[in-house]
């Protein structure tokens, strides 16, 4: 039994997830360092405290009482600036006394990404709605025959202008959506390979320096930028010259 308890303690302390065990009167009988860090209270101070003393979330307390009846549950909970997915499971000892295990998974990045997605969707909807409403309005005036003949040309010009604005917005959205993790070293090697023949024709040596760096961006734009810089370095170089491409964290120089 002692060996099992020791093994359990070792596993719990090395978990990235927060682990809290409540006894039958909703007091903390055990908690690991990850849980203590999430809550912001040292482990030594957590033991013996009632759940309501460390968290004033009434939904959590209600969920714990529901779980004590034998029903599993899960919920999203915030501590400070972090968001956790909390899974609650009932546990019974030999005397059939209830307790609850709380397992906490840090989903802060996921929650932040979801919030950004909602804000992005709201902004996109607003930005697209404005030119579309204008285009529709002028088109309805023309189709209904309400617009005077002298006004039709002006209306079509405004429709064309708003259509251009709409296309620009869509292109900007596509550019944002196409961002990905880009290896600067991989892009540099590709550019060197494509320009090697042109450099060799003038006796120019291209050398790549530095460790790899991964950035978030549009692959085609970064490749085009690096290609143009290297191409110009070759074009405006001297015969038998040299081009040095150096990669640093989030930076590249030619």
Q: Per residue of the chain (254 residues), give pLDDT as tens.
A: 566 666 767 667 777 888 888 888 888 888 888 888 888 888 778 888 887 787 777 788 888 888 887 788 888 888 877 888 989 988 866 555 678 889 988 888 888 778 877 887 788 888 888 889 989 998 998 888 888 888 888 889 999 999 998 888 888 777 766 778 899 999 999 999 999 998 999 999 999 999 999 998 888 889 889 999 999 999 999 999 999 999 999 899 99
| pLDDT score, position 111 | 80
CB 40 within 8 A of CB 79: yes
**CA–CA distance, 150 with 131 (Å, rounded to integer):** 23
**CA–CA distance, 251 with 184 (Å, rounded to integer):** 8
At residue 130's C-alpha, the angle toward residues 179 and 134, to 5°, is 135
As given in the structure block, the two tokens for residue 202 are 């003038």
Q: Angle, to 10 degrees, between the axis of helix 219-235 and the axis of helix 184-201?
A: 30
């Amino acid at each position: 039994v002692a060996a099992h308890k020791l093994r359990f303690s070792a596993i719990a302390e090395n978990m990235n997830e927060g682990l809290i065990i409540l006894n039958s009167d909703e007091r903390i009988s055990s908690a690991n360092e990850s849980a203590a860090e999430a809550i912001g209270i040292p482990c030594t101070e957590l033991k013996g405290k009632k759940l309501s003393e460390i968290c004033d979330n009434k939904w959590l307390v209600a969920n714990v009482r529901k779980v004590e009846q034998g029903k599993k549950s899960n919920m999203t909970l915030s501590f400070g600036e972090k968001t956790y997915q909390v899974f609650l499971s009932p546990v019974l000892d030999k005397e059939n006394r209830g307790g609850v295990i709380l397992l906490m998974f840090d989903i802060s990045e996921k929650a932040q990404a979801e919030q950004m997605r909602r804000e992005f969707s709201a902004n996109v909807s607003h930005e697209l709605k404005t030119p579309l409403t204008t285009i529709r309005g002028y088109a309805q005036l023309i189709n209904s025959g309400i617009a005077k003949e002298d006004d039709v040309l002006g209306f079509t010009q405004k429709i064309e202008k708003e259509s251009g604005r709409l296309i620009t917005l869509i292109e900007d959205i596509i550019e944002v959506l196409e961002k990905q993790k880009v290896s600067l070293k991989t892009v540099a090697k590709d550019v060197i390979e494509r320009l090697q023949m042109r450099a060799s024709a003038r006796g120019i040596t291209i050398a790549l320096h530095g460790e790899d760096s991964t950035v978030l961006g549009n692959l085609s734009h970064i490749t085009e930028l690096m290609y143009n810089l290297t191409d110009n370095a070759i074009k405006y170089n001297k015969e038998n010259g040299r081009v040095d491409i150096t990669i640093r964290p989030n930076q590249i120089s030619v």
